[in-house]
Amino acid sequence: MGDTVQFTSVKPYKVIVSGRIKHFISAFGEHVIAKEVEQAMQEATKQTGCRITEFTVAPQITPEGEELPYHEWFIEFEKEPEDLQQFVEILDRSVQEQNSYYLDLIEGKILQQLKIKKIPENGFQQYMKSIGKLGGQNKLPRLSNDRKIAEVLEKI
């Protein structure tokens, strides 16, 4: 219950668990799902040679000033990319290629390109410990449609 699945074959029937129903971002109708952000992260890390410890993504609906809203990626790097802007562009392009709703919002100037907030070493462990969920059976959601996790991570 609560998982999304994809059929990989219909003869014989084979499915894979592709995410959780409650793990998405759709603050503006973009319907971004975990599979899309995970694939984007795989592409960006492969192309830039960086390594990620953990990450999560949340919408920033009300940025300061006259800025457009955006998706904020909270990332703990094991090894940072040499060119962070290139990394951002690969992530953003990958999500746009996978999700036409996100692309439309970027092209329509409803959303701006994603932004990255670097999380210090062990920052995600600190977060999980603070909510009483530190341990192998507990996983950080890749996506949130609100800023509850983001607000805590901003303070780490």
10-residue mean pLDDT profile of the chain (156 residues): values are 62 66 81 94 98 97 95 98 98 98 98 98 94 85 94 92
Domain enclosing residue 57, as ranges: 22-153
Secondary structure (3-state) at 134: coil
CATH of the domain at 146: 3.30.300
- Cβ of 103: how many Cβ atoms within 10 Å? 17
Q: Are 69 and 59 in contact (CB under 8 A)?
A: yes
Q: Is 58 part of a structural domain of the chain? A: yes
Q: Is 70 part of a structural domain of the chain? A: yes
Beta strands in 42-136 (DSSP E): 51-60, 70-79, 115-118
Q: Are 133 and 152 in contact (CB under 8 A)?
A: no
| pTM for this predicted structure | 0.86
Determine the Cα–Cα distance for residues 60 and 43; give it in Å rounded to an integer.
23
Return the pLDDT at 5.
Answer: 56
Q: Is 15 part of a structural domain of the chain? A: no
Q: Is 148 part of a structural domain of the chain? A: yes
| Number of domains within the chain | 1
Return the pLDDT at 68.
Answer: 97
Q: Is 4 part of a structural domain of the chain? A: no
Return the pLDDT at 2.
Answer: 47
Return the pLDDT at 95.
Answer: 98
Q: Is 13 part of a structural domain of the chain? A: no
Q: Is 47 part of a structural domain of the chain? A: yes
Q: Is 111 part of a structural domain of the chain? A: yes
